Amino acid sequence: MQIEGLGSLLPKTIEPAAKNKSFGIEGFGETLNGFISDVNKSQLDSQNTIQDFVSGNGVELHEVMIAGEKAKTNLELLMEIRNKAVDMFKELTRIPV
């Protein structure tokens, strides 16, 4: 009986990410920009859903409420991430070198 390594069991999509070892500021900035654009998209989707409801385009009230709560939750999460990043920066500036 031959024992194979774990590498054959991993999906092929994980391998390129594991080879890329640059976890610097650019990665954080890209992630943050992506999240900001997702929050903006959810805000715009919520506005479009409200407009469709008001104009009578077959949108139900519960769909409007779900879209609004999703946009609100995304915005609150973004604000908490911003607050934690600011706190982290303040803490790092207090550390003596």
pTM of the prediction?
A: 0.66
More confident residue, 97 or 53: 53
74 close to 39: Cβ distance less than 8 angstroms: yes
pLDDT at residue 18 above 70?
no
Closest by alpha carbon to 86, among 41, 37, 34, 32?
A: 32
How many C-beta neighbours within 10 Å does residue 97 have? 2
Long-range pairs for 15-19: beta carbons < 8 A, 24 or more residues apart: none
Largest Cα separation within the chain, whole Å, is 68
Q: Could you tell me the pLDDT band of residue 95, with boundaries at 50, 70 and 90?
A: confident
58: Cβ contacts below 8 Å, ≥ 6 apart: 52
Q: What is the mean pLDDT of the chain?
A: 82
For 42-81, the pLDDT digits (tens) are 999 999 999 999 999 999 999 999 999 999 999 999 999 9
